[in-house]
Chains A and B, each alone.
Chain A
Amino acid sequence: MGESKLTPQIHGTALQGDGTSEVQRIHASWVSGDHPRPRIFFDLSTSLAWKGRHAVGIVRTERELAARLLEDRDFDVVPVVYHEGFFRAIDPEAARDLISVRTAPVSRGTAPHPLADNPDATKLGDGGLTKGQRIALSKKLALSLTRVLRLLARRAIKQVPERAREDVRHSLIYARSAFRRLVYTQNIANTSPHLLAAMQEDHSLSEVAEPEPLDLSLIVHPEASDILFICGLGWDVLDWRTLSISKVRHRFKIAAVVYDLIPEKFPEFLGAPADFWNNYFLHMADNCEILFCISKSTERDLLAYLKQTGRQPVRTEVFLLGANLTAEPSATEITDEQLKRRLESRRYALAVGTFEIRKNYKLLIDLWEDLVNDNRFDLDLVIVGMPGWCVDDLISRLRGMPIFGNRIHWFHRLSDSGLSWLYENCHLSLFPSLYEGWGLPVVEALQHHRPVIASSRGATPEAGLGMATILDPEDYPAWKTALIESALSERQVLNIPPGLLPTWDDAATSVKSGLNSLLEVDTVE
């Protein structure tokens, strides 16, 4: 663990005069000696906000990149979270805990809760309910309350004059989002399910410990040579106003990931007001030295946006999201035995992605409503995705269809194991999205060697990697023909060339390369 002799005066003198020369001296010491290494502040605010929750794509991306970069030997990567106006360094062990969280798997309509199953769960309070039963009941009540509130909100909106209806709708959506942030981001120290078991007296030679609350006391005062890396829900967890002031003051660099500009290009697909997103993208353009894009399509969209808004071009790099679902396929969380047997014995098409307007499940639902009348067509449709934006009417329609629960099945969420099992056993995968920044489900299907029919819009053709059938998502006849052809075909197993599928290791390497080049640019200057 020894440190070789270092260039002195790296710290202890305030940055004065030409900050660039300070950076050059620091970099020179990296070249000549061991330390300090280039320092990257890796923002994990999103992982903190989503701790214990099902990881959607962007959250997953942050976790996967962090898992690799935190262990990198060429950088000093300091995990940080944004809290009350400052970035705060967190303990590396706590960071690993944040990024390794997986939710309990939840199949359709069933929410198994560890406390309810725990025979040691303590009886608390009145009513004779165990604590686990009380929590499960609370969740059911909360879900029912949410549905009632949503119904009331829809009815209230209909009473508002049309000229103001959209604004009111957006305001309610924004308020809901703010409430969620308030509730979830304050939940910093969660109680481990282990704790209940540990509450027994005389736990002889106890191995169990309470989880340590996350220490957020350490404020980061960055230096000009530092890079802040943001790859999460930057519009949700950061305040770019204070962040930009800090950047001006301390002159550090910011590297961020742009997933897509869908809110700019298609504001009708999103819930928050268009200006919210425009404001966010402007902050990104004004504050970042490098913007990583998850596809060439996103990169094109970004460059077009910069031009359109009169911003100076920002350096961009493209990296592809990893495809590796690493979990062992397992159907254990599909607790509906009848459904499980059906999926094991019958053929089905699989569609993965949030159930929102942009994913274009309407196309698939229309197709199935049509195709089930064709005796040649025996495929079921399985959808995996949480309910999202602007689809309440479609969901109502779906739930009212006779084929729902018979030929169309919907899992709100599944763990990687359950999803992997569905991919493994599907006849084909469908991805008719109206626009994407990438199209991860397409790649995941290819990872499982499953045929894919995917949209021609946005980055989805890129995600097809030359292996997917690409169709215009609004070309109903083409999709119908393709589905019938698939239904009449034997099960296919695609031969995926080695090295074709992007991995998270590749993604981390690309990010690291981009960050390195940012450092080199700095020293040259």
Chain B
Amino acid sequence: MTKVLQITNYPTRRPRHGGQIRASQTAKQLEAAGFQVQRAPIFIRDHYRGHGELPALDLGRAETARRFPEIFPLFDLTTAELAAIDPECFAAFDRIMNEAAADIILLEEPWLWPALRRWRLEQKSTKPVIFNAYNIEYRSKAAMLEKFGMRNSDAAVSEIEALERDLASSVYGLTTTTEADAEVFRAWTTQRVEVAANGTTPQRRSHLRGVLPPPLEREHKFVVFVASAHPPNAEGFADLVLPALNTLRSHERIVVAGGVAQLIAPMIQNEKYNYRARDRLILLGPVSDLALNSLYANASGIILPITAGGGSNLKTAEALVSDRSIVGTSVAFRGFEKYMNFPMVKIADDGVTFAGAIRSLFDEAHFPLGRPPMPELFWSSTLLPQVRLVEAAAGASVCSDS
């Protein structure tokens, strides 16, 4: 059986945010395809307390100081590079890689490339590496650093771009989540570039009607927005959703689940919104999978007020198979463009239209919609190009070994 070592910079056994979910699904699809997948999550243990998984290598033990410790958008870069530059951490990384003795190495996101690159060089490893890109990181970070207000961020952005370019040209092949991202990588490399879109897992939810997390009551009607604490997820909320609070009746709610709620909370602590928000907005924060399913099962609709961020939005795929009406932006539908004209999907990119569309979710609530299943949106379909790429790499590896 071909052994695949999957390297991530976060835990994946109990996935919460989009990257964890995607990485976890990648491992599952490869296992389903007959590969033996070993997971090597490498992260700072304290950053993921409560996620129920220990790191294969705890970067928190590094004695080397981390660069830019106060620049949150650069944490990915400066944390992961410790695996390459800190002697003890790299020794542990070396041990992991040697013990795994993988036939194929799968790198999720680019951040651990410095460590992997150094290891390949020193070990003279020729095992194929496949890179799964979730984003064009330098662009995403550039936007985040500008919002963050980092001065002289160009150097950092350039460094990230150089990292991505180097990685793209060094690997056997890579995948992206959208065709647009694939085009960028194809300009950087002659290696194989495949599009493996974000997907979702089919869920049965009808049995969860009337099962609700407090403070929701059975008499409430609500629409739901689910997103992680990735900062771009919150950028559209103030312009698109808060103005819609006016249109909600007393028993209607906008429910926000996921880490994005923590980013939204400060937005409503002002005179302009605090009472309407108090009575019409529910910030649940991170919730369990069961709670999430119960929200989808009972919601009048799903809203996706995403105006920033790269890659594709995993929650859009979830929304499409949820059999609920959707109001989203065109940015939210990046990678899912062909569904923008779907029945009961409304695209709105400005506040007035978005508010009107939310109102229609309540007025026209008619669920379940009876939307036919969309297996093309399941992970088993969307990640097939990734599986094929790994299969191709396995074949190439056998040829080069013989």
Q: Which residues of A does B touch, CB under 8 Å?
A: 1-6, 8-12, 14, 35-37, 39, 76-78, 89-92, 198, 201-206, 208-212, 215, 217-223
Contact = CB atoms under 8 A, between A and B. Distances in A.
Contacts of A221: 210-212, 217-218
A168 B370 CA distance: 63
B57 interface: yes
16 contacts: A1-B203, A8-B366, A12-B365, A12-B366, A76-B206, A201-B61, A202-B56, A203-B54, A204-B40, A205-B38, A205-B100, A206-B55, A217-B288, A218-B291, A219-B211, A219-B213
B195 to A, nearest CB: 24
Please classify how large the interface on chain B is, using the bins under 10, 10 to 19, 20 to 34, 35 or more: 35 or more
B54 A206 contact: yes
B361 to A, nearest CB: 11
B291 A3 contact: no
Nearest to A212: B52
B52 A12 contact: no
A215 B206 contact: no
Contacts of B288: 91, 215, 217
Contacts of A205: 38-40, 56, 96, 99-100
Given A205-B38, A206-B56, A217-B288, 16 more contacts: A1-B373, A4-B370, A8-B367, A35-B206, A76-B207, A198-B54, A202-B57, A203-B54, A204-B99, A205-B100, A210-B52, A217-B287, A218-B290, A218-B294, A222-B210, A223-B209
B14 A6 contact: no
A1 B365 CA distance: 23
Nearest to A39: B207
B208 A89 contact: yes
B54 A11 contact: no
B319 to A, nearest CB: 16
A89 B294 CA distance: 10
Nearest to A33: B370
Nearest to A220: B211
Interface string B186-225: 0000000000000000111011111111100111010000
A218 B61 CA distance: 38
Contacts of B291: 215, 217-218
B53 interface: yes
A219 B58 CA distance: 38
Given A1-B373, A35-B206, A218-B291, A209 B211 contact: no
A430 to B, nearest CB: 46
Given A12-B300, A37-B207, A219 B212 contact: yes
B203 to A, nearest CB: 8
Nearest to A210: B52
Nearest to B204: A1
Contacts of B249: none
Contact of A89 (B14, B57, B211, B368): B211
Nearest to A94: B290
A488 B294 CA distance: 65
Name the prevailing secondary structure of the B interface residues: loop
- B38, B56, B211, B291, most chain A CB atoms within 10 A: B211
Contacts of A10: 209, 368
Interface string B295-322: 0001010000000000000000000000
Contacts of A8: 366-368, 370
A2 B373 contact: yes
B108 to A, nearest CB: 15
B323 interface: yes
B92 interface: yes
A210 B209 CA distance: 30
Given A215-B290, A220-B211, A12 B219 contact: no
Contacts of A211: 52
A92 B203 CA distance: 13
A220 B210 contact: yes
A93 to B, nearest CB: 9
A76 B208 CA distance: 9
B54 A78 contact: no
- B287, B288, B373, most chain A CB atoms within 10 A: B288
B290 A3 contact: no
A11 B209 contact: yes
Nearest to A89: B211
Contacts of B370: 3-6, 8
Contacts of B54: 198, 203, 206, 208-209
A3 B209 contact: no
Q: Which 5 pairs between the two chains have the least Cβ-Cβ distance?
A: A2-B373, A76-B207, A1-B202, A221-B218, A5-B370
A63 B57 CA distance: 39
A36 B210 contact: no
A420 to B, nearest CB: 35
Contacts of B213: 217-219
Given A1-B202, A201-B58, A209 B373 contact: no
A123 to B, nearest CB: 20
A12 B361 CA distance: 12
Interface in B256-310: 287-291, 294, 298, 300
Nearest to B206: A36
Interface in B48-100: 52-58, 61, 92, 95-96, 99-100
Contacts of B92: 202
Nearest to B203: A1
Contacts of A223: 209-210
A9 B40 CA distance: 47
Contacts of B96: 204-205
B17 interface: no
Contacts of B202: 1
B120 interface: no
Nearest to A14: B219
A221 B207 CA distance: 12
B22 to A, nearest CB: 19
Contacts of B40: 204-205
Contacts of B204: 1, 3
A38 B298 CA distance: 17
Contacts of B343: none
A65 to B, nearest CB: 18
A39 B207 CA distance: 7
A205 B92 CA distance: 12
Nearest to A1: B202
B13 interface: yes
A453 B214 CA distance: 55
- A8, A10, A12, A76, most chain B CB atoms within 10 A: A12
B56 A78 contact: no
Nearest to A36: B206
A220 B208 CA distance: 9
A218 B212 contact: yes
Contacts of A39: 207
A209 B212 contact: no
A12 B373 contact: no
Nearest to B251: A14
- B54, B202, B206, B323, most chain A CB atoms within 10 A: B54
A70 to B, nearest CB: 11
B103 to A, nearest CB: 15
Contacts of B211: 78, 89, 218-221
B368 A6 contact: yes
A29 to B, nearest CB: 10
A90 B290 contact: yes
A3 B323 contact: yes
B299 to A, nearest CB: 10
B285 to A, nearest CB: 11
Nearest to B221: A12
Contacts of A92: 290
B149 interface: no
- A76, A92, A221, most chain B CB atoms within 10 A: A221
Contacts of B287: 217
Contacts of B95: 204
A230 B124 CA distance: 64
Contacts of B219: 14
A156 to B, nearest CB: 45
A36 B209 CA distance: 10
